[in-house]
Chains A and B, each alone.
Chain A
Amino acid sequence: MMPLISIEDLSFAYRDREVLHEITFPVEGGEVLGLVGPNGCGKTTLIRCINGMLSPRRGRVVLDGRDIRNMHRREVARAVAYVPQSAGNRTTATVFETVLMGRRPYLNWKVSPTDEEKVVEALTLLDLEELALRRVAELSGGERQRVMIARALVQETGAIFLDEPTSNLDVCHQMGVMEILRDLADKKGLAIVIALHDLNLAATYCHRLLVLEGGSIYSYGAPAEVLTEDMLRSVYGIEAVVKRDMPAPYIVPLRRGCLESGLKPARSSQ
């Protein structure tokens, strides 16, 4: 079966600095794909290339069999939804209106009852009915993130891309957001692509991980295959133990010198 989105041999450069180098991978429906890698490895740039905000220097992004360069912006927005990092921080509108904005790719001016129905559906699904008429700016970080996901949902796309949706959230809300996203993939068959920093969160909720290092793919596969001590050493430059006796691999980073001293914390660096 053809993947929902295929990224083929994609390279991107800001002026003469190459940020992404020959990236190829598929995005499949019903799957949560985690994009991981250190700061500046090109995660955000990659997402921006896929939804057409940036034009790649080489290679292409194929959506439903079509190169997105030949698609109208509105068409892309009907196929791929994007939740940028810290989205909603400066939204002054109410929750209802913010979510309604997700209908923009379908609207000219007038809002139809169908549009409103879709908004209500999404608000109900994400448990936001009570907050519908509050202003987004008044909400907590976790609630705000749910509003952003609701907006992506009413865009009725096959894929949702999220850039660090869990940053600034406590562990309980991080898990809440990830549960919702995993559910959307499992139950609605959506493709969810998330740029993430927290590797343990990624291991717990993602079907697959794509590790980026310096703009190239270091590895791609199931969390158990990808999250290895070797990867952590060469991509992140840290020593860590990957525990495999749990449902998902669990990474315990070690302080410098821990390995030599037999896994005991180093007292001091002399």
Chain B
Amino acid sequence: MEQYISLYEGYARLKRTRAAFILALTFGLVLLIGIAVTLGSADLGIGESYLAILAGLFPGTFSAPDLAITIVWDYRLHRVLFAVCAGFGLAVAGSVMQGILRNPLASPFTLGIASAAATGASIAIVLGAGVAGGEYLIIGNAFLFALLAAFGIYGMARYRGIGSETMVLAGIALMYLFSAVTSLLQYVGSSEQLQAVVFWMFGSVDKSTWPKLGIVALVLACTVPYLIYRAWDLNALAEGDEVAAGLGVPVERSMTVMMLIASLITAVIICFTGTIGFIGLVAPHITRMVIGSDFRTLLPASGLTGALLLLAADSIARSILAPQVIPVGIVTAFLGVPFFIYLFLHRRDA
């Protein structure tokens, strides 16, 4: 009987650790949002920033100086929230891809989706050709190419019934192909075009606006709850097709749907931000090291980790050489890699 109690107790403790981790991440994120909103050329304190956020949300209940409200709501908050959403989405997409493909290296980048987006953007920048016009020329192309790469890989997988290892290889092959196309476009482009392409590929949340944030948030709101709802399928698929099938998971359909959702999330984010690497690869690993691999908690927790990482990186990118803003895609690696290696060297089961 004692064994029973200690077993239940042990599992209950694991669940508490997970809840505490998610809670801590949420708290940290809210705090960091407040801090990130204070960053910029106009001097605003943390208290003022929170007050301005609240005043914008509940104009009757809270009040703040008009200038503060304008600065926070028109210039800073959407950027901060965009970083949060982008980090969240990239990390969730990375978790799903790593789980389904059972490959720790799977991420939007190793599968060629990001370099396809870069090719799409380059075509828009260098050749001026695209599916949409005006402001959405580059964005539309990047989005389209990202999805094209995802469908390409998936089509190959379906056509020949290739396994997950081959899918990762096919993704890497596609990555090289698209990189070559992008290089060619850079080679033939003018120096201004070259600069624009390179800058796009750095990745940043500079160009965020409320409508863009709305699009990303909407896609996340429609897809992430579904992925979390399907967490048991992901758990089973992470162990292999045969195990999943034996547990009653419709393997092919689940894999298709989830890969396409993960690709859609990636595409809708990177078409606005450019190539922000690393978050989608590393946030899931960091989270898994802390709370294990149950997708019911892994998905929300790695989303929050990704959001926190990207927002922290963006905050540093904005303040370290202020008023210069370094593209966040550069900072994510500077910030994340040492942290990642530290965790690797210090984890319990090493």
When C-beta atoms are compared, the residue in chain A nearest to B250 turns out to be A73
Q: Does B236 contact A (CB under 8 A)?
A: yes
A102 to B236, CA, bound (A): 9
A109 to B228, CA, bound (A): 9
Chain B hits for A120, CB < 8 A: 4, 7-8
Q: Does A90 contact B (CB under 8 A)?
A: yes
Q: Does A178 contact B (CB under 8 A)?
A: no
A237 to B247, CA, bound (A): 38
- Assess A74 versus B248: contact at CB under 8 Å? Given A53-B242, A94-B14, A109-B231: yes
Give the most central of A102, A104, A120: most B CB within 10 Å.
A104
Give the most central of B10, B232, B250: most A CB within 10 Å.
B232
Q: Does A87 contact B (CB under 8 A)?
A: yes
Q: Does B349 contact A (CB under 8 A)?
A: yes
Chain B hits for A53, CB < 8 A: 242, 245-246
Chain B hits for A93, CB < 8 A: 235, 292-294
Q: Does B176 contact A (CB under 8 A)?
A: no
- B7 touching A129, Cβ below 8 Å: yes
- B246 touching A82, Cβ below 8 Å: yes
Q: How far is the CB of A227 from chain B (nearest CB, A)?
A: 29
- Assess A102 versus B349: contact at CB under 8 Å? Given A90-B240, A93-B293: no
- A135 touching B349, Cβ below 8 Å: yes
Q: How far is the CB of B173 from chain A (nearest CB, A)?
A: 24
- A84 touching B247, Cβ below 8 Å: no
Binary A-proximity of B9-25 (CB < 8 A = 1, otherwise 0): 01100100000000000
Interface positions, chain B 258-305, Cβ under 8 Å from A, are 288, 292-294, 296
- A76 touching B248, Cβ below 8 Å: yes
Binary B-proximity of A71-95 (CB < 8 A = 1, otherwise 0): 0111111101111100110111110
Contact partner of A104 among B6, B236, B349, CB < 8 A? B236
A129 to B3, CA, bound (A): 7
Q: Specify the main secondary structure of chain A where it touches its partner.
A: mixed
Q: Does A132 contact B (CB under 8 A)?
A: yes
- B247 touching A109, Cβ below 8 Å: no
Q: Does B249 contact A (CB under 8 A)?
A: yes
- B243 touching A84, Cβ below 8 Å: yes
When C-beta atoms are compared, the residue in chain B nearest to A104 turns out to be B247
- B10 touching A96, Cβ below 8 Å: yes
Q: How far is the CB of A55 from chain B (nearest CB, A)?
A: 12
- A90 touching B245, Cβ below 8 Å: no
A81 to B10, CA, bound (A): 27
Q: Does A11 contact B (CB under 8 A)?
A: no
A241 to B102, CA, bound (A): 46
Chain A hits for B243, CB < 8 A: 82, 84, 87
A77 to B242, CA, bound (A): 12
When C-beta atoms are compared, the residue in chain B nearest to A121 turns out to be B4
- A124 touching B4, Cβ below 8 Å: yes
A84 to B240, CA, bound (A): 10
Q: Does B229 contact A (CB under 8 A)?
A: yes
Chain A hits for B233, CB < 8 A: 104
When C-beta atoms are compared, the residue in chain B nearest to A80 turns out to be B246
- Assess A82 versus B10: contact at CB under 8 Å? Given A77-B247, A104-B236, A109-B229: no
A150 to B6, CA, bound (A): 19
Q: How far is the CB of B75 from chain A (nearest CB, A)?
A: 40
Interface positions, chain A 32-64, Cβ under 8 Å from B, are 48, 51-53
- A84 touching B242, Cβ below 8 Å: yes
Q: Does A123 contact B (CB under 8 A)?
A: yes
Q: How far is the CB of A153 from chain B (nearest CB, A)?
A: 13
- A109 touching B4, Cβ below 8 Å: no
Chain B hits for A74, CB < 8 A: 248
Chain B hits for A75, CB < 8 A: 248
Q: How far is the CB of A29 from chain B (nearest CB, A)?
A: 19
Q: How far is the CB of B165 from chain A (nearest CB, A)?
A: 12
Q: Does B142 contact A (CB under 8 A)?
A: no
- A155 touching B11, Cβ below 8 Å: no
- Assess A133 versus B10: contact at CB under 8 Å? Given A84-B243, A109-B231: yes
- A82 touching B236, Cβ below 8 Å: no
Q: Does A138 contact B (CB under 8 A)?
A: yes
A73 to B247, CA, bound (A): 8
- Assess A77 versus B248: contact at CB under 8 Å? Given A104-B232, A104-B236, A132-B11: yes
Chain A hits for B83, CB < 8 A: none
Q: Does B66 contact A (CB under 8 A)?
A: no
Chain B hits for A78, CB < 8 A: 248
Q: Does B121 contact A (CB under 8 A)?
A: no
- B293 touching A92, Cβ below 8 Å: yes
Chain A hits for B349, CB < 8 A: 135, 138
Chain B hits for A92, CB < 8 A: 238, 288, 292-293
Q: Does A180 contact B (CB under 8 A)?
A: no
Q: Does A214 contact B (CB under 8 A)?
A: no
A36 to B39, CA, bound (A): 70
- B8 touching A116, Cβ below 8 Å: yes
- A51 touching B245, Cβ below 8 Å: yes
A87 to B4, CA, bound (A): 26
7 chain-A/chain-B pairs, Cβ below 8 angstroms:
A51-B246, A73-B248, A93-B294, A94-B292, A104-B232, A105-B247, A133-B11
15 new A-B contacts, CB < 8 A, other than A97-B293, A129-B3, A133-B14, are A72-B248, A78-B248, A82-B242, A82-B246, A83-B246, A93-B292, A94-B292, A96-B14, A97-B235, A104-B233, A104-B236, A109-B232, A124-B4, A129-B6, A155-B247
Q: Which 4 A-B pairs give the minimum distances between C-beta atoms? A: A77-B248, A82-B246, A84-B242, A74-B248
